[in-house]
Structure 1
Amino acid sequence: MSRINRSKNSLKVIGLTMVTCLMVTLLSACGKSDTVTRSDFLLDTFVSITLYGESDEALLDKPFEKIEALNLELSSTDAGSDVLLINANAGIQPVKVSEATYRIIEKGIYYSEISGGYFDATAGPLIDLWAIHEPEIKDPPSPERIAEAQKKIDYTKIVLNPSEQTVYLTDPGMVINLGSVSKGCIADAVMAVIKEEGVKHAIVNLGGNILVMGGKANGTDFGVGVEDPNNPGNGYIGVVSIKDGSVVTSGDYERYFTDSAGKRYHHILDPFTGYPSESGLTQVTVVTDASIDGDGLTTTLFLLGLDKGLALVEKLDGVEAIFVTKDNRVIATKGLKDIFKFDETNYGKTYTFTQLQ
């Protein structure tokens, strides 16, 4: 990594550390002595783990080792990773993978199925074609190239062999991309390590994937802020209060580029159109027990749009969601009635809030 890139990432970490203190209502002030915390720039994002009621910083070693190990397995670019081997052997042969990789691909297929293909675990060719990362000015891919990428997307052509723990993509050129579920998978695995170490109160923050355990030492809930999509990084339209569970938010402002005419293209791609989703939503927040489910569902619900998204949430146990539409409506599902508080004072004039009953 160059010296310039090191400086850039350090600035991101410093800024996001302050955001984390605002986003999560912690047991105490960020620097109090009965907490240990560590942050780094991993998974192409800001990562922070905080343990409460603990003073031994060595307790953070294994959680961060787990992040790095799983990142190597699930990366689509690191040489020798499970995902890279699966993609390299598309149309050639099955690939034996780790248990973590196998389970996350099973979960990717599950969300592909329940979304009717809006979420597709094999959308890699389209994601690679658009290559949406940091904000920049460039032109979108041609319709012809988009159509070619779409031909290689079909989650039903993922063949799993549970007895051999292998994964096979039947057609050459297919590409699995686990970006929409990998952070959630890693967050859950990291929290499992923290529990094994005997920690009772913790927050894992993987770039907006928030997973909390045990509530505050005084028995009250953590408060997790839901970002203002019209002004990301500078305010929260409300707070979700939970002791244990995951809060994950995805929005069309997170990664995007602008073309030469000034049109913006965000990173949540619709496999049916080949273009960034135009579902009418600008942000989705999902509250679940497991972070992998929150991760997969934020993308799924965003692509489905408000009506279909609400219908899906109604069918799923232990899932609640907050939808923000492009016309500034905020809709919270039934189960959030007692745990999500919309900030009417500061955002009541900007957003119309509806709590479903």
Structure 2
Amino acid sequence: MTKTGKILRGLLLATLLPLLCGCGAKKASTEFFAMDTVMQLTAYGTYADAAVEAAEIEIARLDAKLSAQNVNSEIAKLNAGGCCEDDETLRVLASAYQIAALTEGAYDPTVYPLMQLWGFGTDHAQVPQQAAIETALEAVGYEKLPAVKAPYQLPEGMAIDLGGIGKGFAAQTVRRCLQKQGIQSAVLSLGGNVTLLGSKPDGTDWTVGLQAPQTDGCFGYVSASDVSVVTSGGYQRYFEENGKRYWHILDARTGMPADTGISSVTVVSADDTLADGLSTALFVMGLDRAAQFWRESRDFEAVFLLDSGEIYVTQGLEDRFRSERGFEVLAR
């Protein structure tokens, strides 16, 4: 039996919007499908309508350029053996390589051959034979990539999927787009990525609900402004075979779904692209390695929900996170 799990549509905005009643600022909203997920944008300000329209156009443009599934995209052309000279695409590729190197491959954009082998996101998802996984692994590994510069070409047999940072880069681009339109307060819900531009119109923090796996509720809430809050979890996209669940977050070292005892990871960072990549990387690392990685960093905070139901929150979020379940604080 095959099943696909998706993030609950509108969960984050359902959490956010009731808190905005009565704030008086002009509001414009839109909802559309892009980057394989439902996206919701809400902006506040005099030019909110034009800003939201421009943001939607930007996301569609980036989706067409960066999606590995779009045969006309820059990434699909690269994967087919072509060269890339597009500056914007090269910037995303450089970011992907940097995050892969930073996390020592816990995030790795070269897992696309494995994603295709497993069939995630298709109607024919299945557990591959071990021999097929081992063959695919020969074409996986960020360290095999050449330096990112034009004209850029992948080594023969390798393929890239930017799904691990694509929405983060899109959020970063849309953030600039909205700011150019004079917007100082906005919420972008891009699937599991929630980007907060500024604070709420009344000057207070936004509240972002973190989805409890397999339920319609939240296991906790983060209060924040002007950051991205990005969640990765095994419950978001998966299939079941012979009673066992296999999720789409793969470990590039083994070719198998990362099984580290973590149910979901939420990363909070002012760097939208970094937050996206790290949410995947920390999930693959597991709690102990991820906690040590955080202790050696200064540009993000995180919330870990374990399979056991335990919640761990990094020290910088101690006063910004709340949960009825209680939680442990990871100290530096």
Q: TM-score, normalised by structure 2?
A: 0.91
2:208 to 193, 207, 224: 224
Give deviations 1:74-98, integer Å, cap 9, x for gaps: 0112233111111111xxx6x2332
The equivalent residue for 1:141 is 128
Whether contact under 8 Å (2:233, 2:263) holds in the other structure is yes
Selected match of 1:291 from 269, 272, 275: 272
Q: Aligned to 2:171, which of 160, 179, 187?
A: 187
> What residue in structure 2 maps to residue 80 of structure 1?
72
Write the distance in 1 (CA, Å) between the matches of 2:153 and 2:93: 11
Distance across 2 between alignment mates of 1:306 and 1:79: 37
Structure 1 272/194 Cα, relative in aligned 2: closer, same or farther at 3 Å? same
Q: Does 1:167 align with 2:152?
A: yes
Secondary structure at the counterpart of residue 211 of structure 1: strand
Give the length in aligned residue pairs. Answer: 326
- Larger mean Cα displacement after TM superposition, 267-276 or 302-311: 267-276
Take 1:240 and 1:129, find their aligned partners in 2: how far apart are those partners?
A: 36
Q: Give every structure 1 segment of 4 or more consecutive aligned residues whose post-TM-superposition deviation is greater than 4 Å.
A: 30-33
Task: Give 1:115's aligned amino acid.
Answer: T
2:106 aligned partner, one-letter code: Y
* Counterpart Cα distance in 2 of 1:103 and 1:310: 29
1:277 partner SS: coil
The structure-2 alpha-carbon separation of the partners of 1:30 and 1:295, relative to structure 1 and needing over 3 Å to count, comes to: farther
Deviation readout 1:303-322 (Å, 9 max, x if unpaired): 00000001111122221001
The one of the two structures with greater contact order (alpha-carbon pairs below 8 A, sep at least 6) is: 2
What's 2:185 paired with?
201
Q: Offset of 1:166 from its aligned partner? A: 3.0
Q: TM-score, normalised by structure 1?
A: 0.85
Kept in 2: contact 1:160–1:166 (CA 8 A)? no
Contact in 1 for aligned 2:84/2:153 (Cα 8 Å): no
**Preserved contact between residue 25 and residue 224 of structure 1 (Cα < 8 Å):** no
Show structure 2 runs of 5+ residues with no match.
Answer: 1-5
CA distance 1:256–1:48, shift in 2 (3 Å): same
CA-atom RMSD in angstroms: 2.3
Q: Secondary structure at the match of 1:217?
A: coil
1:65 to 47, 57, 73: 57
Deviation at 1:240, TM superposition (A): 0.9
- State whether residues 126 and 150 of structure 1, in contact with CA within 8 Å, keep that contact through their aligned partners in structure 2: yes
Q: CA deviation at 1:140?
A: 0.8
Identity fraction in percent: 32
Residue 195 (structure 2) aligns with? 211
Give the whole-Å Cα distance in 1 for the aligned partners of 2:283 and 2:12. Answer: 24
150-159 or 111-120: which moved more?
Answer: 111-120
Q: How far has the Cα of 1:215 moved from its partner? A: 0.7
1:235-246 matches, within 5 Å, as 235-246=217-228
